[in-house]
Amino acid sequence: EEEEALARRASGAAPRPKVGGGAKLNESQLRWLITFVSVHLDDAMLQTSLFGLLRVIFGRKFVLPELYDLVLLLGDMVMQADAPAVRHSASQLFITFLLTYPLGPKRLQQHLNFLVTNLSYPVAQGRLSLLELLASLVDKLPLPVLHRQAELLLLPLVTRLVNDDDHECRQAVGRAITRLLRRTCDTGGDADCAAARERIFKLLRAWYADDALPALRQAAAQLASLAVDALGASCSSLLNNLIPLIVHSCQREADGPPTAEASSSAEISREGGEEQISASASSWQSAYYSLRALERYAAADSSLLSSAACAPLWSPLQRLLLHDHAWLRSAAGRVIGGLLATLEVEALAAATVKAMALEASGASAAGDADGDGGSSARAVKKAKRSSSSSRGHGDKTPAPPSYLCRRGALLELTDALVQQLHSSVISPAAAAQTLKNLIWTCIAFVRHPELAPPSCRAFLPGAAAAVVAANGAGSDAAGGDAGALDATGGSRGFWTLEAVAGRLASLTQTSGHTRGCTAMRWYAAIASQLSSDQLQPLLPALMAPVARAADDRSGKVHLRVKEMAGEALQLLQKRAETPDFVAAYQKLKEGQKAARRERKQREAVEAVAEPERAAQKRIAINQGKRKAKKRKLDRQKRSRDSGGSVGLGSKKARRAKPEM
């Protein structure tokens, strides 16, 4: 009791900054006091006072061997203490000791080794406290010391970045690496900073190699992404060297065979690792984090995506839109959206016309002269005039990538975007980004029909069949609609919109509301961008899926999709001329009635010609009705039980008989 009272008096007197105040202790008493603190630091009743006492002792820089031993105990408490406040106090004292006390190279190395070797501590909260301590230490260590210890700190941190299964710990590792790179690779620094940047690039190049393990390539991609965050666009020398590595990583993933691991992990968030970087990491993660690094670099430099360094990226990026893993598809869609945001449709159309004219002139020059050389020459001259006029607007507009200037390239991209929307695991954010990209390409086709000549229909399947599916008519109407497609839409480039509209129609009855609502937003966006004259030939293709979803009574259309379909139908009615809208709506209803009559006639003929098959169909229909009724009763029962009713007091109260 006397010892505890002495400790309380010392701790209570020490924090007061009065000159000449506080307890006066000799060296032996101070040694005893530090020993007392070391023994009772785990006591929750004394921790607040003892931590205050240690802050005063460290502030006055008392140098005793017992203090150097006490710091080891504080390091253990950073990880092992239960209370977050205790872990924070121990962490602050540990940092204060390392920064203010005299430490030899071996002693400092011992403490840093303690930090990095315990980064794999099994308790997540302890690892998080240790990582926050390490990040603070990186900010406060002298720069020459940090340069000498950079590799010791970087490699274990990158290992945890790949293998840690806790999200908060991975974020803390990312913050620590970002601070480390920002200080050691500063563009305004000395020769040591330049050497550190060169070492980082050599490390990334070695890890990005084709013969490296997938986990190493993933670590390289994540480190590259953090390097972009740390250095920004100011360090163009390092970041420009990273672009070929990022492009090659995406090419390798796009050219590689699909793996079962990627498709099976499309539904999960992350797989945990062990203490060391293992070889079982997925190959898609390298391309995914490479695209994230490219996104961050493009956010700092908008001209990056249209530069020559990224030109080889667009071919594999289009294939990554249809990758097995949903995350990689989303990242590829965001990068393509970033490119389309920097392009002008006029410049792309002029470059495409020029490329197609040069291709036609080359083909005519290689073959026999058949009297078409004059038209090819005129096409070349027209392409040159259009390209020169587009350059006349200013040189600030980035030139479109040569990959998108090929014949039918934008149609291939549109086909990949439509296929991406049919994925059952697409997220709302990815669907929104795909919708933006799809609207951009479709509006480009409307404004510049030369981007989608009728001879390129093979690049976007479903042109003629889309109109037939949209109208819901039989085989007799197919020929008429296909002919109307050639007569109206084909000459203006509207056949692409009809093809996309027909292929999006099936999304209205998919599970959930994400894909159905995305399709309805596309119909509404196209209707709002077209004039009444442009909308008139497209009304049958746009109205059919919207009206069917708005008038659905089968329950196959989600309620939110049905509400949005009603809004889209009102927008179509507002944008189109009234006679055109009424005629198209009436034709749609007549087509649905004709299809219904034809179906009933087929069923009647089948009942006479194949009675056994007809009976099986009726049995299946009746079983489906019974199952639907059972599901409805189950839903009603669950909703009734969720209200808290257990069957007590449910009977009506009897009326009291009047007294005679």
When pLDDT is cut at 50, 70 and 90, the band that residue 440 belongs to is: very high
The stretches of 141-271 forming alpha helices (DSSP H) are 143-163, 167-184, 191-207, 214-231, 236-255, 260-264
pLDDT at 643: 60
In the predicted structure, residue 358 carries a pLDDT above the cut 50: yes
Write down the pLDDT at residue 560. 93
Residues 396 and 423 in one domain: no
Residue 55 covered by a domain:
no
Q: What is the mean pLDDT of residues 70-85?
A: 90
Higher pLDDT, 146 or 377: 146
Q: What is the pLDDT of residue 284?
A: 87
Residue 658 pLDDT: 56
User: Is 632 among the domain residues?
Assistant: no
At residue 188, the pLDDT reads 75
Residue 638's pLDDT band, with cuts at 50, 70 and 90, is: confident
- Quick check: 451 pLDDT over 50? yes
In a domain, 463, yes or no: yes
The confidence score (pLDDT) of residue 659 equals 54
Q: What are phi and psi of 271, to 5 degrees?
A: -110, 135
Percent of the chain, pLDDT > 90?
25
In a domain, 215, yes or no: yes
- How much is the pLDDT for 546? 93
Residue 429 scores a pLDDT above 90:
yes
**pLDDT computed for residue 597 by the predictor:** 87
Q: What is the pLDDT of residue 180?
A: 92
296 shares a domain with 205: yes
Does 436 share its domain with 564?
yes
Domain-embedded: residue 116: no
Q: In the listed set 386, 407, 428, which residue is the last one of a domain according to the structure? A: 407
- Which positions ≥6 away from 609 have C-beta within 8 Å? none
How confident is the model over 172-188, as a mean pLDDT?
A: 89
* 558 and 456 both lie in a single domain: yes
CA distance 584 to 481: 13
List, in order, residues 6 or more apart from 525 with CB less than 8 Å away. 435, 439
- Candidate from 325-329, 354-358, 393-397, 454-458 with smallest mean pLDDT: 393-397
Same domain, 448 and 554: yes
- Residues 505 and 598 placed together within one structural domain of the fold: yes
Q: Quickly state the pLDDT bin for 189 (edges 50, 70, 90).
A: confident
- Residue 540 inside a domain? The answer is yes
Q: What pLDDT shows up at residue 501?
A: 92
> In the predicted model, is pLDDT for residue 268 greater than 50?
no
Write down the pTM of the prediction: 0.75
486: DSSP letter: I
Same domain, 313 and 446: no
Residues 439 and 486 in one domain: yes
Number of domains in the chain: 3
- The interaxial angle of helices 167-184 and 214-231, nearest 10 deg, is 60
| Range in 74-83, 109-118, 224-233 with the lowest mean pLDDT | 224-233
Residue 402 belongs to domain spanning: 343-366+375-407
**Mean pLDDT score across all residues of the chain:** 79
Length of the chain: 660
642 pLDDT exceeds 90?
A: no
Residue 449 covered by a domain: yes
Within-domain flag for 157: no
Query: What is the rounded average pLDDT of the residues 204-228?
Result: 86
Check pLDDT > 50 for residue 490.
Answer: no
Find out whether 517 and 560 touch, Cβ atoms under 8 Å.
Answer: yes
Residue type, 216: L
Query: In the structure, what pLDDT confidence band is assigned to residue 280 with cuts at 50, 70 and 90?
Result: very low
- Choosing from 357, 385, 407, the residue where a domain stops is 407
Distance CA 304, CA 323 (A): 24
Same domain, 251 and 293: yes
Residue 589's pLDDT band, with cuts at 50, 70 and 90, is confident
How many other C-beta atoms are found inside a 10 Å radius of the C-beta of residue 554?
7
- Poorest-pLDDT segment among 5-14, 103-112, 630-639: 5-14
On the question of pLDDT at 411 being above 50, the answer is yes
Least confident of 303-312, 316-325, 460-469, 647-656: 647-656
Q: Which long-range contacts (CB under 8 A, 24 or more apart) does 532-538 make?
A: 532/575, 532/576, 532/577, 532/580, 534/446, 534/492, 534/494, 535/572, 535/575, 535/576, 535/580, 536/576, 536/577, 536/580, 537/484, 537/488, 537/489, 537/492, 537/494, 538/489, 538/494, 538/497, 538/498, 538/501
Write down the pLDDT at residue 1: 47
Identify the pLDDT of residue 235: 67
Neighbours of 452 (CB within 10 A): 30
Q: What is the pLDDT of residue 462?
A: 67
What confidence tens digit (pLDDT) does each residue in 499-556 have?
999 999 999 988 889 999 999 999 999 999 998 888 989 999 999 999 999 988 888 8
pLDDT digits (tens, 9 = 90+) for 103-120: 888 999 999 999 999 998
The pLDDT value recorded for residue 397 is: 61
The pLDDT of residue 95: 92
Residue 363, pLDDT score = 58
State yes or no: pLDDT of 392 exceeds 70: no
Q: Count of CB atoms within 10 A of residue 226's CB? A: 26
The pLDDT tens digits for 32-70 are 888 888 888 888 888 888 888 888 888 888 888 888 888
- What confidence score (pLDDT) does residue 607 get? 82
Q: 39-46: long-range contacts (C-beta < 8 A, 24 or more apart)?
A: 40/4, 40/7, 41/73, 41/77, 44/83, 46/4, 46/7
Q: What pLDDT, on the 0 to 100 scale, is given for residue 329?
A: 92
493 lies in the same domain as 395: no
Q: What is the pLDDT of residues 467-486, one digit of tens each?
A: 444 444 433 333 334 333 44
Greater model confidence, 192 or 493: 192
Residue 229: name the closest of 169, 155, 176, 305 by CA. 176
Q: Same domain, yes or no, for 283 and 304?
A: yes
Give the pLDDT of residue 527. Answer: 93
Summarize the confidence of residues 236-241 as an average pLDDT.
Answer: 74
* 398 and 463 together in one domain: no
